[in-house]
Amino acid sequence: MSLPFEHIRVFRREGVIKPVFLREQLGILDTLMMVYTDHRGKKRGELNEVISDCEYLGYDFRMVRGIAAVLDARSVFQSRSSISPIEARRQVFTEAAATVVASKDERIKVLEAVALRNNISVEELDDSLYADLDDEQYLVEFRAPSGEELMRYYNYANMIALLSYSLSIEITYRGSDDYLVNQIKRLGASRVSGSQTTKAVIELRPTKRLSQRADKINEIMSRVIGKPQWSLKANIKYPARYKTPCVFEIDNNGDGKLLAVDQRESELVIEIGLPKKKQAKYGDIVVLDDTARRQGVTSAQILREIKDEGPKYMDLGGVLVTPEKHKEIRAHLRTLSTLGEAQSYFKGLGVRDFMTALESYGYQVEWSKPRENSKIYRL
């Protein structure tokens, strides 16, 4: 695995760069494992709050977050929802739009009405409302490694993240390995030579797709460090704005002894072997101007990012929608008659600028008072 790139820790001096490796079992390792163990059956949001508190124990916050990322990879989080969260929000917002919700009791009445309609309890409905958010997921399984293992897993993940910024990588290992050679060729333009001792030189270009590069480097290095003899030399430009590349070297006789691959994770990858499905980072419906404003970038930048890394969208003129969601929205809008219903529906989809979305589907508003009772229609 690789650490999140914002949690990389490095040492740099006179043209040499190295990951900051843990060389002894620090107390924070056991502390964080205990935190995860104690939070089985609790929400991720509660877990993250305690992890944030651990950042004040005197350790570099990047190290604390990096170790937590390694433990996340050994955790199973699960949503608990009796009905679809999107459908739950849609029904609750639609119900709330028909009345005034100004107190806790009025909110409970709205929840009771929706829960009764779906034959579930208020508690189940409340749990379902935002079950698709990360913080609302429950930690259902956690397998704690030993302190020594966690230290080595963290060091390895920190190294993989740093190697993602490489301009060239030279790997030498004893023996031959056709599978490994194929993985090396997938990473970039490469030259592979030797039989008893294999040497591979890989040339790389700077990329914004660091996560994809990290995955490929992980596939290579998880196999390399299992060899009896190996070494690596890389020219690294980190961070990307840094002008001069620095050299990183490591081998099995030196700091390579501080590394280990989580075998449980690598077995999972080998057994499943499925390509990752592209996720819609900005959701199934994107109002470009609104999203760009909230991200502090231009609409053109959002479009480029979606084109490079995201799934397919349909362009409705300033509003992007995935084909599957487009069919669903178009069908549902036919069942709505007022502006309040439309606002509640789009709010349930996570859309703030609902008027732009509504207009992109060809709907107009016949304004009246109160505003939410205004009629919507399509020419």
List b or e across 126-138, with b for residues whose CB sees 16 or more CB atoms inside 10 angstroms. Answer: bbbbebbeeebbb
In a domain, 128, yes or no: no
Given this model, what pLDDT does residue 88 score? 87
The reply to whether 311 and 209 lie within a common domain is no
The reply to whether 90 and 26 lie within a common domain is no
- pLDDT tens for the chain, 379 residues long, are 899 999 999 999 999 999 999 999 999 999 999 999 999 999 999 999 999 999 999 999 999 999 999 999 999 888 888 888 888 888 988 888 887 777 888 889 999 999 999 999 998 898 888 887 888 889 999 999 999 999 999 999 999 999 999 999 999 999 888 999 999 999 989 999 987 899 999 999 888 889 889 999 999 999 999 998 999 999 999 988 888 999 999 999 999 999 999 876 543 333 333 344 455 566 778 877 777 777 666 777 777 777 766 567 777 767 788 887 888 888 888 888 888 888 888 877 777 778 888 888 888 888 888 888 888 887 5
Final residue before a domain boundary, out of 272, 307, 330 = 272
How far is it, in rounded angstroms, from Cα 158 to Cα 67? 10
In a domain, 137, yes or no: no
Given this model, what pLDDT does residue 79 score? 80
Given this model, what pLDDT does residue 372 score? 82
Report the candidate in 210, 214, 233, 221 with the shortest Cα–Cα distance to residue 262: 221
Helices (H), 232-317: 263-272, 288-295, 299-309
The reply to whether 181 and 267 lie within a common domain is yes
Crossing angle between the packed helical segments 178-187 and 210-224, to the nearest 10 degrees: 160
Final residue before a domain boundary, out of 272, 303, 330 = 272
Final residue before a domain boundary, out of 224, 247, 272 = 272
Query: What percent of the chain is helix, strand and coil (3-state, nearest 5)?
Result: 50, 20, 35
Beta-bridge mates of residue 375: 338, 366
In a domain, 218, yes or no: yes
CA dihedral sign of residues 163, 167, 171, 177: positive
Given this model, what pLDDT does residue 267 score? 34
How far is it, in rounded angstroms, from Cα 236 to Cα 243? 11
Report the number of distinct structural domains present in the chain. 3
The reply to whether 239 and 346 lie within a common domain is no
Given this model, what pLDDT does residue 133 score? 83
The reply to whether 38 and 99 lie within a common domain is no
Q: Tokens 């790139």 identify what position?
A: 5
The beta strands (E) that lie in 272-370 are given as 285-287, 314-315, 319-321, 363-366
In a domain, 58, yes or no: yes
3-class DSSP state of 194? coil
The reply to whether 63 and 116 lie within a common domain is no
The reply to whether 166 and 252 lie within a common domain is yes
- Count of alpha carbons within 13 angstroms of residue 71, beta-carbon side: 31
The reply to whether 41 and 153 lie within a common domain is yes
In a domain, 314, yes or no: yes
Given this model, what pLDDT does residue 274 score? 36
Q: Between β-strands 166-174 and 230-236, what pairing exists: parallel, antiparallel or unpaired?
A: antiparallel
Cα 239 to chain centroid, rounded: 21
The reply to whether 178 and 254 lie within a common domain is yes
The reply to whether 35 and 176 lie within a common domain is yes
- Is the pTM higher than 0.75? The answer reads no
- Write out the residue range of the structural domain in which residue 19 sits: 5-75+143-272
How far is it, in rounded angstroms, from Cα 333 to Cα 330? 5
In a domain, 135, yes or no: no
In a domain, 131, yes or no: no
In a domain, 347, yes or no: yes
CA dihedral sign of residues 215, 217, 219, 225: negative
How far is it, in rounded angstroms, from Cα 57 to Cα 215? 32
The reply to whether 97 and 180 lie within a common domain is no
The reply to whether 169 and 300 lie within a common domain is no
CA dihedral sign of residues 308, 267, 165, 234: negative
